[in-house]
């Protein structure tokens, strides 16, 4: 008698082969996690039946961290320690956050820093990476509880127009949450995967993705199982939050008008953090109410005693936000132009993101594309559903309906050339993964090193683009200007992350950098956060750096002192005294606890001994050739 193997619902018939993988939509307003069960992509719910997890993190006085609905309920009462829309700050500096007036947070006031922005909380300074990691941890716990096991990996979605810094920040957050990132997937592409599989359609589609904090538009072509991204565009600082802000400003104007009518006139003072968050919350609620209703009443009491009681009509809301809706159509037109398509070429328009529920948004899209947009999948869930399908395929739980994804680079990648100009190596909308190489040469006679700055953007000048990394290629053989051949290779992986290699062709000397953007976390910072319970880690690192600096300085001092004792007659008395002064200065530095100063002292001593080193080399060559004929020398 043979045995018939069975499986529980949602489980593989061969459990030893089935791997647990999820797709995660890390959203500005809400986040969620999905998986593939019994061949169907489905969103996982928490113990209360909620699919959406509000992207809100609160730091409590007792050190506890709460995420989601519980944190969201206290955002007006404790705004400084309840962080909302952290995704908008991912990979950003203070300079990038142009308008912070309505954001009730205290940002780290170090605008010159190359690190990403930090927020002051009662738990200390927190980066958007750390805040996002808490959201991802909550989703990971939900997934492992629902699936009954440890996750093999996750596909995490990002806006298509996220640059390298924002993508790296997202990967850093996932690492802090203990997730194995299988791939970063562009949100419009994830939505297209869900619609492509569910609707079994072929043709060219537009993915219009307006979320809480970002806007993306992508044009994709589905042909015989291959999903190719033809073009992408967007705005990483435009989303539903901006519609909330317009209502917030309208409320303030109404309150000012009302307060001036009091008898006696009541002074209207700038709002504090609690009132700002309260009004932003009321604005969001009004926006959502107006999706299905003609007017929304906004009632609350501010801390200064002023009663807010205003009514916003749907018509007024449309007028207030018409410029924001129009602003989404500019990237849409650019994407259509980049793809070389007319409106008649578009088979369907997929609406993604909770903000696309607003009637004025849907009407604008319908008017532009001359067709009703596709809304049969929940716009809040479609991205996670598509990501889950990709995750299921990447871990090997494949099905015959799997699509091949061909994503593209959202922005051009290149390097700086003389005069501060940008030489583009990989143009935007290049299919991923991609590798491109280009040859460069030296600018001056005898040049033995080259500094390479990697940039991202579409402008012609480096000053107008974003700097991603700098590195140096040393050891170039001294040649006449223009004789050297340096091949620079750019490689972008499936996640949209970049590595750059520079190689001098004749000598083979090579330099390589995996781009770690300025606002991402360094490996040391990742390690420090993951091992924060071991308080001595940072102190040990500094002690090692100081010890290495002292050893290096001691070796240099010893070598130069021996050389002076043997060959000081080769240089002038003044040069000898200058070298001895640098030795004395470096010796004094080694007794201090400043590794940076010691390293600078070593550089100064090396510079002071350059002429001496050249004189010793010349003397050595002269001595080696002394008394010999040309015939004796093996050329």
Active-site residue, 209 included: yes
Token look-up 């290096």 returns 552
State the pLDDT at residue 67: 94
45, exposed or middle or buried, with CB in 10 Å at 0-12, 13-18, 19+? middle
- Percentage of the chain beyond pLDDT 70 is 80
| Assigned token pair, 591 | 């007794």
What confidence category does residue 3 fall into, taking pLDDT thresholds of 50, 70 and 90? very low
Cβ pair 183, 390 in contact under 8 A: yes
- Burial string for 611-621 (b: 16+ CB within 10 Å, else e) reads ebeeebeeeee
627, exposed or middle or buried, with CB in 10 Å at 0-12, 13-18, 19+? exposed
Q: Does 75 have pLDDT greater than 60?
A: yes
State the pLDDT at residue 66: 93
Q: For residue 125, count other CB atoms closer than 10 A to its CB.
A: 13
Q: Out of 46, 78, 87, 235, which one is annotated catalytic?
A: 87
247, exposed or middle or buried, with CB in 10 Å at 0-12, 13-18, 19+? buried
CA–CA gap between residue 589 and residue 184 (Å, rounded): 47
Token look-up 């008649």 returns 344
What confidence category does residue 2 fall into, taking pLDDT thresholds of 50, 70 and 90? very low
Q: Does 80 have pLDDT greater than 60?
A: yes
Domains of the chain, each with CATH number or no CATH: 21-238+324-406 (3.30.420.40), 413-521 (2.60.34.10), 537-625 (1.20.1270.10)
Q: What is the mean pLDDT of the chain?
A: 80
Task: Read off the pLDDT of residues 558-570 as tens digits, 9 standing for 90 and up.
Answer: 778 888 888 888 8
Q: Out of 46, 134, 163, 187, which one is annotated catalytic?
A: 187
What confidence category does residue 261 fall into, taking pLDDT thresholds of 50, 70 and 90? very low
CA–CA gap between residue 155 and residue 153 (Å, rounded): 7
CA–CA gap between residue 494 and residue 479 (Å, rounded): 39
CA–CA gap between residue 174 and residue 180 (Å, rounded): 7
Token look-up 């904090």 returns 213
- Say how many CA atoms lie within 13 Å of 183 toward its Cβ: 26
CA–CA gap between residue 244 and residue 79 (Å, rounded): 16
Active-site residue, 538 included: no
Q: Which residue has the higher pLDDT, 515 or 87?
A: 87
Strands 348-352, 203-210: parallel, antiparallel or unpaired by DSSP? parallel
Express the helix, strand and coil content of the chain in percent, nearest 5 each.
40, 25, 35
Q: Under 8 Å CB-to-CB from 140, ≥6 apart: which residues?
A: 33, 151, 154, 177, 178, 179
State the pLDDT at residue 159: 84
What average pLDDT does this structure show over 492-503? 80
Q: Does 369 have pLDDT greater than 60?
A: yes
Q: Out of 209, 242, 380, 416, which one is annotated catalytic?
A: 209
Supply the DSSP string of 573-627, one letter for each residue.
HHHHHHHHHHHHHHHHHTTSS-HHHHHHHHHHHHHHTHHHHHHHHHHHHHHHHTT
Q: Out of 25, 235, 380, 582, which one is annotated catalytic?
A: 25
Q: Does 8 have pLDDT greater than 60?
A: no
Active-site residue, 25 included: yes
Active-site residue, 575 included: no
């Amino acid at each position: 008698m043979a045995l018939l193997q069975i499986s529980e619902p949602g489980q593989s018939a061969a459990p030893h082969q089935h791997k647990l993988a999820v797709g995660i939509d890390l959203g500005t307003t809400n986040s969620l996690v999905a998986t593939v069960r019994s061949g169907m992509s489905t969103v996982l719910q928490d113990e209360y039946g909620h699919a959406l997890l509000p992207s809100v993190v609160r730091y409590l006085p007792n050190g506890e961290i709460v995420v989601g609905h519980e944190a969201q309920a206290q955002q007006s009462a404790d705004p400084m320690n309840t962080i909302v829309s952290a995704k908008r700050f991912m990979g950003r500096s203070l300079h990038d956050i142009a308008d912070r007036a309505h954001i009730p947070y205290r940002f780290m006031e170090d605008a010159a820093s190359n690190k990403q922005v930090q927020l002051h909380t009662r738990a200390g300074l927190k980066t958007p990476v750390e805040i996002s990691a808490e959201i991802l941890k909550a989703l990971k716990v939900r997934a492992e509880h629902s699936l009954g096991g440890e996750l093999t990996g996750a596909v995490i979605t990002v806006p298509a127009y996220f640059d390298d810094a924002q993508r790296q920040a997202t990967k850093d957050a996932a690492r802090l949450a203990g997730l194995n990132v299988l791939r970063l997937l562009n949100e419009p592409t994830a939505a297209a995967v869900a619609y492509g599989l569910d609707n079994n359609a072929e043709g060219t589609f537009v993915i219009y993705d307006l979320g809480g904090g970002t806007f993306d538009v992508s044009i994709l072509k589905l042909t015989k199982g291959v999903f190719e991204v033809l073009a992408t565009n967007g705005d990483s600082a435009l989303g539903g939050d901006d519609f909330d802000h317009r209502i917030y400003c309208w409320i303030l104007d109404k309150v000012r008008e009302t307060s001036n009518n009091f008898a006696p006139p009541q002074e209207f003072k700038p709002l504090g953090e609690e009132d700002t968050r309260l009004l932003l919350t009321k604005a969001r609620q009004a926006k959502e109410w107006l999706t299905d209703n003609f007017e929304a009443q906004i009632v609350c009491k501010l801390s200064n005693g002023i009663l807010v009681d205003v009514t916003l009509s749907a018509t007024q809301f449309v007028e207030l936000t018409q410029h924001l809706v129009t602003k989404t159509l500019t990237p849409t037109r650019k994407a259509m132009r980049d793809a070389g398509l007319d409106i008649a070429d578009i088979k369907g328009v997929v609406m993604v993101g909770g903000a696309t529920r607003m009637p004025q948004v849907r009407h604008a899209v319908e008017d532009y594309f001359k067709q009703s947009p596709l809304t049969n999948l929940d716009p809040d869930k479609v991205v996670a559903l598509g990501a889950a399908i990709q995750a299921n395929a990447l871990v090997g739980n494949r099905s015959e309906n799997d699509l091949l994804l061909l994503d593209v680079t959202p922005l051009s990648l290149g390097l700086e050339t003389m005069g501060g100009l940008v030489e583009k190596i990989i143009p935007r909308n290049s299919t991923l993964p991609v590798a491109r190489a280009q040859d460069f040469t030296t600018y001056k006679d005898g040049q033995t090193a080259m500094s390479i700055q990697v940039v991202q953007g579409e402008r012609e000048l480096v000053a107008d683009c974003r700097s991603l990394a700098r590195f140096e290629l040393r050891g170039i053989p001294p040649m006449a200007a223009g004789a050297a051949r340096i091949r620079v290779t750019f490689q972008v992986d499936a996640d949209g992350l970049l590595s750059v290699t520079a190689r001098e062709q004749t000598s083979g000397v090579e330099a390589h950098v995996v781009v770690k953007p300025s606002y991402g976390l360094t490996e040391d910072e990742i390690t420090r956060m993951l091992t924060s319970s071991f308080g001595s880690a940072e102190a040990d690192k500094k002690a090692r750096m100081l010890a290495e600096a002292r050893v290096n300085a001691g070796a240099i001092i010893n070598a130069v002192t021996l050389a002076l004792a043997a060959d000081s007659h080769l240089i002038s008395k003044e040069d000898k005294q200058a070298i001895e002064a640098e030795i004395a200065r470096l010796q004094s530095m080694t007794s201090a606890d400043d590794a940076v100063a010691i390293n600078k002292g070593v550089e100064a001593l090396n510079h002071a001994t350059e002429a001496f080193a050249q004189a010793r080399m010349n003397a050595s060559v002269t001595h080696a050739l002394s008394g010999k004929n040309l015939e004796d020398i093996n050329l």
